[in-house]
Amino acid sequence: MIFTLIGFMGCGKSSIGKHIAGKLGCDFADSDILVEKGEGMTVTEIFSRYGETGFREIEYRYIDRTVRSYGDRAEGKKDGDGKAKNLIFALGGGAVTYEATATLIKERTFPVYIKCSPEELIANLKEDGTDGRPMLAGYDLEMRVKQLLSEREAAYGNCARLIVSPSGLEEAIVKGLSAIR
């Protein structure tokens, strides 16, 4: 089973997702890290070289590869201990704005939207800093978050099988896992 975590930058996909994966014994992956390792470039470098559209195509390829490798395991291949492996997969905040990615994760994974208010996101992003986030660099943070979130809200909502707050994610995943055991 693959739980894909979707939602705006700063909602906690990577930090909370990684923590919960450790606690529940699931594998964890982060699409930005896969892209950066695989391409040997930072997300910022990829954006400046190929633009947002180029980044989305690359991002799709890595998400697709990961989803397919876990899909195969779900269809029968189990790990050494005989248990099927579960993956919590944090996706970059704009991944579902690319149609091919949205279709893939709707069809082959269980997408969970971690929904936060713009105020929560702005506070988290102020703490994290916007370095390494080219969609925010050079903009007024508050205006940009509100604008991008309103453009993306429908894509997150349409993709999600479940919408949770950051504090509701663990319970949602526990329930999802018990449903398949």
Site for ligand S3P, rule CB under 6 A:
9, 13-14, 32, 43, 92-94, 133-135
Nearer to ligand S3P, 62 or 110 (CB): 62
CA atoms of 101 and 63, how far apart (whole Å): 8
Nearer to ligand S3P, 48 or 69 (CB): 48
- The distance of closest approach from Cβ of residue 81 to ligand S3P in the complex, given in angstroms and rounded to an integer, is 31
Nearer to ligand S3P, 72 or 139 (CB): 139
Q: What is 79-145 written as a DSSP string?
A: -TTSPPP-EEEEPPTTGGGSHHHHHHHHHHSEEEEE---HHHHHHHHHHH-STT-TTTTTS-HHHHH
- The distance of closest approach from Cβ of residue 59 to ligand S3P in the complex, given in angstroms and rounded to an integer, is 7
- The distance of closest approach from Cβ of residue 142 to ligand S3P in the complex, given in angstroms and rounded to an integer, is 16
Strands of 87-90's sheet, edge to edge?
27-30, 87-90, 2-6, 110-114, 162-164
- The distance of closest approach from Cβ of residue 172 to ligand S3P in the complex, given in angstroms and rounded to an integer, is 19
**And the tokens for 63?**
């998400």
- The distance of closest approach from Cβ of residue 80 to ligand S3P in the complex, given in angstroms and rounded to an integer, is 31
**And the tokens for 157?**
């909502």
Nearer to ligand S3P, 26 or 149 (CB): 149
Nearer to ligand S3P, 52 or 170 (CB): 52
* DSSP label of 76: T
**And the tokens for 6?**
């979707």
Q: How far apart are the first and last CA of the chain?
A: 11
